[in-house]
Amino acid sequence: MPDVTDNDHAPLTEDPRPDGLRSAPSLVVVNTGNGKGKSSSAFGMMLRGLAVDWKVAVCQFVKSGDWHVGEEKMGRQLGVEWHSFGDGFTWDSDNLDHDRNHAREGWAQAARLIAAGDHQLIILDELTYLCTWGWVPTDEVVAAIVGRPEHVNIVITGRDAAPDIVAVADTVTEMTEIKHAYANGIRAKRGIDY
């Protein structure tokens, strides 16, 4: 049990926010790291965006359109424009060249979506992998982020976010795995994991 007299665990008595906070027309958020919750956090932002009447789009780059994850089902019902540019896990692939081309085509479509400025929030789920694997040039992703219309917020998810993407982001969170059910032989659970 933690020592209740430890000042590191005491309630804050001073406002920790810096002075001079300002508004920004949009933000870039990156959820990275080896822990669970990167996409789930992004889909929480999807709901927040919908709650303030934003037009929202999701582009998924690894998950296959055949998965029909819970977030997609609910997102579509709520009016989210949903795109699946993935073919599933690479270890299940019979043709990585096909997967790579599909991902590149998907990125080109996502970049056009960003540039069009029709959405206030665009979630680029699992985009970091495409950069890490060399399927999409990181400099193209950075250029699309930096050159986006000023009202377009972007959320990028996936492990090993490239330093150049981290550099142009406003908020970067690294999810750290402490413990995962997989390590105990437990499969992904519908309603929790997808």
User: In the chain, what are the domains?
Assistant: 25-151+165-184 (3.40.50.300)
- Residue 31, pLDDT above cutoff 90: yes
Query: H/E element holding 82?
Result: strand 81-86
pLDDT over 60 (residue 2)? no
pLDDT digits 0-9 by tens, 128-146: 999 999 999 999 999 999 9
- Strand partners of residue 121: 56, 153
Over residues 50-62, mean pLDDT = 95
Q: Which of 121, 119, 141 lies closest to 130 in space, CA to CA? A: 141
Is residue 27 predicted with pLDDT exceeding 80?
Answer: yes
Structure token pair of residue 69: 């994850």
Better-scored residue on pLDDT, 9 or 175? 175
Beta sheet of 56-64, edge-to-edge order: 81-86, 56-64, 121-125, 153-157, 28-32, 171-174
pLDDT tens sequence across 67-92: 667 889 999 999 999 998 866 555 45
Q: What is the distance, to the nearest Å, from the Cα of residue 141 to the centroid of all Cα atoms in its chain?
A: 14
